[in-house]
Amino acid sequence: MTQAAFFVLTALADQPRHGYGILREVEELSDGEVQLRVGTLYGVLDRLTADGLIVLDREEVHEGRLRRYYRLTDEGMQALVAEAERMAAGASAAKRRIAEGRQAPHPSTGPGLAGGLA
């Protein structure tokens, strides 16, 4: 799952949102790290819809413009949960390895380590 897809699904986890609302929510959820362009967003929405992870919830006219609201499907929620668990497990493994690396003695870089005589 791409980072963009992950954050779009996350943005829709609590309620349906329209495109601009999704853009704002993704930016907020990612602390500004993910800033989707409109074209990218609608590409992600199309793919997630085709995959059955989101559906069109409703359409409303707001200030003369059509707003499409999207929501997660049950499959979308399952995919989001699975991806969040996968990412958490990866982060946990990395944290363990970092902690082990900090505790392990570091070999000296003096002469003779390469097997030759000084």
Compute the mean pLDDT over every residue in the chain, rounded to the nearest whole number: 91
27-54 average pLDDT score: 96
Which tens digit of pLDDT belongs to each residue from 48-69? Answer: 999 999 999 999 998 999 999 9
Q: In the prediction, which pLDDT does 101 show? A: 86
- For 100, the enclosing helix (H) or strand (E) is helix 74-103
What are the structural domains, with CATH classification, of the chain? 3-102 (1.10.10.10)
Which tens digit of pLDDT belongs to each residue from 66-99? Answer: 999 999 999 999 999 999 999 999 999 999 999 9
Tell me the pLDDT band of 105, cut-offs 50, 70 and 90: confident
Looking at the chain, which runs of residues are DSSP E strands? 17-18, 54-62, 65-72
